[in-house]
A = this chain, B = another copy of it.
């Protein structure tokens, strides 16, 4: 299904598999490109949208060499100026991203910064994916009107215990609270997603996709797992 935001951003649609490369060397430099190539062929084969969130230093090459939508892992809510060592939204946009993660559990932000970042990304036509840790915080984030919310219980991140199967009630409660506040927000879920079945479960619960990191990046055969995810996404 195509969403308004997707239409504006033209390469982005749902169901969405959003792969966070974190600071993993398995998805850095040349290997970032290899993973992007695998993802592109899986996306082409299955017609499932796969987004990629590489390290900053790899954004430009991935944006140039891949047709998949590229995301930043974080941006600072700053305008051009004297901000040595910060992440300028305009810089990642010029490098080729279509959106950014905001408030990932490994890069939490102050409430006013999330508000400012969502506002900036909207003004710049970048998709905003605000990460949250529970249903109430998801509701809180929804009031800021981001494009996406990705609910990820921190205690499950990187564990292989899938939120969609182990804690479905968190996802259901998130959807209920978020929809009351802002029915247009697209909900993803993440944490512990490693198999197609976890993706199926996530979509059956009403989410529009998954945010995944080690489940793909650290898999022995990333392409095989990506294909498993994508096929699961097409059969719900």
Q: Considering the chains assembled together, what is the distance between the CA atoms of A18 and B91 in angstroms?
A: 21
Which residues of B are found within 8 Å of A133, using beta-carbon distances? 112, 115
**Interface segment, one of A40-48, A75-83, A161-169:** A75-83
Contact A88 B23 (CB under 8 A): yes
Who on chain B is nearest to A31 by CB? B94
Shortest CB–CB separation between residue A151 and chain B, in angstroms?
12
Is A139's CB within 8 Å of the partner chain B? yes
One of B57, B101, B139, B143 near A136 (C-beta < 8 A): B143
Which residues of B are found within 8 Å of A140, using beta-carbon distances? 111, 115, 140-141, 143-144
Contacts A114-B111, A115-B140; A104 near B84 (Cβ below 8 A): yes
Which residues of B are found within 8 Å of A94, using beta-carbon distances? 28-29, 57
Contacts A57-B57, A139-B143, A142-B143; A81 near B23 (Cβ below 8 A): yes
Chain A interface residue count, Cβ-Cβ cutoff 8 angstroms = 66
Per-residue interface assignment for chain A, residues 123 to 138, with 1 indicating a CB less than 8 Å from any chain B CB and 0 otherwise:
0000000001110110
Which residues of B are found within 8 Å of A108, using beta-carbon distances? 110-113
Is A24's CB within 8 Å of the partner chain B? yes
Is A121's CB within 8 Å of the partner chain B? no
Counting from the closest, the 4 A-B pairs by CB-CB distance are: A74-B85, A85-B107, A56-B56, A57-B95
